[in-house]
Amino acid sequence: MLLHAQATGIAVGAFNVENLEMANAVISAANEIGCPVILATTSSTAKYAPMNVYTSMIKTLADNASISVALHMDHGSADFAISALEAGYSSVMYDGSHETFEVNMVTTKKIVKAAALRSVPVEAELGSIGGKEDDVEAEVNYTDPQMAADFVYYTGVDSLAVAIGTAHGIYSGTPRLDITRLEEIRRRVSVPLVLHGASGLPAETMRECIKGGICKINFGTDLRIAYTNALKTYMDANPNVFDPRSYGKEGFEAVKAVTMEKLDTISNI
């Protein structure tokens, strides 16, 4: 997916999902638009339900779709990355951005070797994305282009998440991204580049990042907000409803609408 996106100048959307309604909504949106899609779970999601529940559920949904669907472990520790491989995930991310450069490289290389035995691609992160993802909170630490080149060469990683000014969670204002830095990383690194913290980014900013070399864009917060607000609105209007399928459908429709908007932005450059 990512190599095709890199070759054609678009990006693949990766959407964090927490339950059946969100997963079904994302695949339904991608199927309607006709583009491949990545569904992702974080380590906290994997604590909410066993990983093999997600692999089974998403495989069943994907088998009924006409587009390609991948299941990705997002921001996992080394242990979570290995557990995701064993559970049948088709892509994993080891996030060693909180470690020293050397420890990040060495551990990433070990995960790459383990994943290669299952022909599974590995994403890593260099620098750090701001904001909070699960229990990890960090300040933005911009990715150094030459360190990125050295990191990719040593580890053999398949894709690289870079820090250019985005953050997880909700932005208090419009973020100012370092596109010049992104373009320099792109010149030195051959593997597809990944943008985290895209929820809330204007469409034009996302397109600018894709032109600068981004091949995968991650969304999480926007979907959670859409799902939760839809349920709140429905329950406020229908306080006597007790059938989860009723308000689950509202969450499904809200997440599908957001997903279609994001996919339309990044897959039609």
- Tell me, what's the pLDDT at 166? 85
Encoded amino acid at 200, one letter: G
pLDDT at 174: 66
List, by residue number, the catalytic residues: 74
Residue pLDDT, tens place only, 206-263? 999 999 999 999 999 999 999 999 999 999 999 999 999 999 999 999 999 999 999 9
Q: Domain range for residue 191?
A: 2-267
Per-residue pLDDT at 134 exceeds 90 = no
Can you give the pLDDT at residue 73? 97
Mean pLDDT value across the chain: 93
**Nearest C-alpha neighbor of 221 from the set 8, 13, 31, 16:** 16
Q: What's the number of domains the chain is made of?
A: 1
- Read off the pLDDT band of 102 (50, 70, 90): very high
Rounded to whole angstroms, the Cα distance separating 223 from 16 reads 8
pLDDT of residue 200: 85
* pLDDT tens string 27-51: 999 999 999 999 999 988 988 999 9
Q: Residue range 69-87: average pLDDT? A: 96
Q: What is the CATH number of the domain that holds 255?
A: 3.20.20.70
pTM > 0.85: yes or no: yes
The pLDDT-based confidence of 135 (bands split at 50, 70, 90) is low
192, pLDDT greater than 70: yes
Three-state secondary structure string covering the chain: CHHHHHHHCCCEEEEECCCHHHHHHHHHHHHHHCCCEEEEEEHHHHHHCCHHHHHHHHHHHHHCCCCCEEEEEEEECHHHHHHHHHHCCCEEEECCCCCCHHHHHHHHHHHHHHHHCCCCCEEEEECECEEEECCEEECCECCCHHHHHHHHHHHCCCEEEECCCCECCCCCCCCCCCHHHHHHHHHHCCCCEEECCCCCCCHHHHHHHHHCCEEEEEECHHHHHHHHHHHHHHHHHCCCCCCHHHHHHHHHHHHHHHHHHHHHHHHCC
Cβ proximity of 164 and 142 under 8 Å: yes
